[in-house]
Amino acid sequence: MKRLALLAIATVFPAVAVAQEPAPGAKPESAAAAPAKAAAQDPVEELFAEKCASCHSVGKGDRVGPDLEGAHERRDRAWMFRMISAPNSLLDSDADAKALLKKFNNVRMPDLGITEEQANALIDLIARCSTETCNLAGVFVAVTEATDTDIEAGRKIFLGETALANGGPPCVSCHTARGTGSIIAGGNLAKDLTHVFARLGDEGLDAALRNPAFPLMKDIYTGDHAMAKEEAFALRAFFAQSNRAVGEQDETYSVLLAGILGAVLMLMFFNALWWRRMRGVRKPMTQAGGMS
C-alpha cells in the first residue's frame, strides 16, 4: 500500500519526484556554493577594492597611504571629495594634503578617473566601514586556484609575448624574475620580482598590479592602461610559481650581466686589434734598429 501511495504522489506531482531523485551523473551543488551565490558583492566595496585598496585600508592600519578609518570625522566632506576625485590638484595647493604627502614618503595619489557619484559613494563607504565590517578585498580569486595554463599565461604577459589588453608595457621592460625561460630575464630599472609574491602576499600583489601606487607604475598602468583582472591573476600565478622556484637552476641572464659580458668581450676584441697594430708598427722599427 505504501508503494502504491508513493506512485500515486509521483503521478500527480511529477516535479516532486524528479526533484528528490537527481538525474544520473548530475553533480550536486556544494553547500559552500549556495551562500556564495546569495552574497553578492557590494559594488561600492568592489570599487574601493579596485581603486583604493592597494594604498589604503579602513581599520587595518596604514599602507602606502593612511588608514581611512574615521577619515570622515577628521576631514569635512568637501575636502574628502576633492582628495578622492582630483587628488593632484589638492596635493599641490592644500597645506593638510601636503603634510600627508610628506608623511607618506611623497608618494602621490594618482587621479583615478572617479566620477562625482563614485566619490560621494566612497565617502559614505568610509563612514560606514569605520563602524562595521566590510568586504574591501572585493571579488577575489586566490592564486591557489591557478592552473599550469594560468602560470604560462602570466609568464607570457611578463615577457611581453602576450600584449596587455589596455596597451601597458610588459613587466620585463623594467623587472627580472626567475622562471621566465628566456635568455634575457629582464631589465634592472626596478626590483627583481622573483620574491614579490612572498613580499606582498596574494591580495597585496593583486592590488599592486591592478592599481599600483609606485611612482613610475602608477603613471603607466592606471586609467586607460589599467591591467585587467584576468591579466593580474595570470601574473600572480606566475610570480607564485617563480617564488616557489627559488634555489632551482635558472639559465637566464639579466640585461646588466649580458651588458657586462658584452663589454668585456668588446674590450678583449679591441685590445687584440691594438696589440696587432702595435706589433705591426714595432716590427719594422726593430728590424731597422738591428741593421744600423
pLDDT number for residue 159: 93
**Tell me, what's the pLDDT at 280?**
58
Domains of the chain, by residue range, sit at 43-129, 143-244
DSSP state string for 43-64:
HHHHHHHHHTTTT--SSS--SS
Residue 107 pLDDT exceeds 60? yes
Q: CATH number of 43-129: 1.10.760.10, 3.40.50.720, 3.30.2230.10, 2.40.30.170?
A: 1.10.760.10
List the beta bridge partners of residue 184. 253
Grid coordinates given for 187: 631589465
Residues forming beta bridges with residue 253, ordered by sequence position:
184
Which residue is it, cell 604627502?
A: 101
CATH number of the structural domain 143-244: 1.10.760.10
Q: Which has the minimum average pLDDT: 172-176, 216-220, 284-288?
A: 284-288
- What does the pLDDT look like over 236-247, one tens digit per residue? 999 999 998 764
Rounded to an integer, the average pLDDT of 132-136 is: 90
Which pLDDT does position 35 carry in this prediction? Answer: 34
Of 35-44, 76-85, 150-159, 174-183, where does mean pLDDT reach its minimum? Answer: 35-44
Residues 6+ apart with CB under 8 A from 99: none
The cell numbers describing 237, all together, are: 600565478
For residue 28, give the nearest of 38, 40, 19 by alpha carbon.
19
Q: Which residues contact 117 (CB under 8 A, 6 or more apart)?
A: none
CB atoms within 10 A of CB 214: 15
Cell 591557489 belongs to residue:
144
Max Cα–Cα distance, the chain, nearest Å: 137
Cβ-contact 246, 195 below 8 angstroms: yes
Residues 238, 280: Cα–Cα separation, whole Å: 57
Q: Do 43-129 and 143-244 have matching folds?
A: yes
- Report the range of poorest mean pLDDT among 46-55, 69-78, 163-172, 215-224: 215-224
Which of residues 30 and 190 earns the better pLDDT score? Answer: 190
- How far, in Å, CA of 273 to CA of 100, rounded? 60
